[in-house]
Amino acid sequence: MSTPSQPPASHETPRFEPAASAFPSSGSHAPGSYSPPSNPEAGKGLRKWGKILSILGAIILALSVIGGIILSVVGFGKVISDVDEATYFSGTSSVTVESGNVIQLYALEGQSVPTCEVVGADGLSPTVGTGQSSTVGWNGQNWVSFQSFASSSTQEYTISCTPSDAQIMVAPPVAIGSAFAAAGGIILGILGGTLGFVLLVIGLILYFVGRSKAKNA
């Protein structure tokens, strides 16, 4: 009896399919998985000038405010010191004036100008002082100078004014340097501070615009 023949065994070479790479190949990427780097050169000039103007503005702003405050305090402090040491009276009063000092008589602004006679302890009238007109604001009222005298020697002076109910202040003239210092401090603080603030704002705008250009390049 014949044995059926078996078909010859098939010898096939096994095939291996390459697995999908976990890394995207060069030149292709999954949507949303990659963003190109920003261009650091874009907007570089704007960022540079923005930094320069910001720093310059901040320095000017700080120096103007600090310098203005110092000048104003020094100027007003001198004026207030003179007014604090002033003598106030109505009718007749006596004041001691050192040799070489100049004194002014002040009346309240708006009231009629008093007439005052000044006589020293030696029985003589002092020489005329400065022709400078001074105005001092104190306790919400303005005092305006109307007469001045200079002391040739340290002595007591008697001041008699009419009308007798007129309010009189006796004080040195307002120092021009102190007045200019106070006014200059205010002007410096306002103008310098404004300039510094504007430069600071412009610098910040330029810087952020430049940085935005670099990100969007």
> pLDDT (tens digit, 9 = 90+) per residue, 36-84?
555 666 667 788 888 999 999 999 999 999 988 888 777 666 665 555 5
The pLDDT tens digits of the residues spanning 127-165 come to 988 888 888 776 778 889 999 999 989 999 999 999 988
Whether residue 134 is contained in a domain is answered as yes
What percentage of the chain has pLDDT greater than the value 70?
71
The reply to whether 117 falls in a domain is yes
| Residue 143 domain flag | yes
Per-residue pLDDT band at 28 (split at 50, 70, 90): very low
Residue numbers of the domain that contains 164: 85-174
17 in a domain, yes or no? no
Query: Within a 10 A sphere around the Cβ of 208, how many other Cβ atoms?
Result: 14
d(CA 108, CA 88): 11
C-alpha separations of 50 from 44, 73, 199, 210 in Å? 10, 34, 9, 8
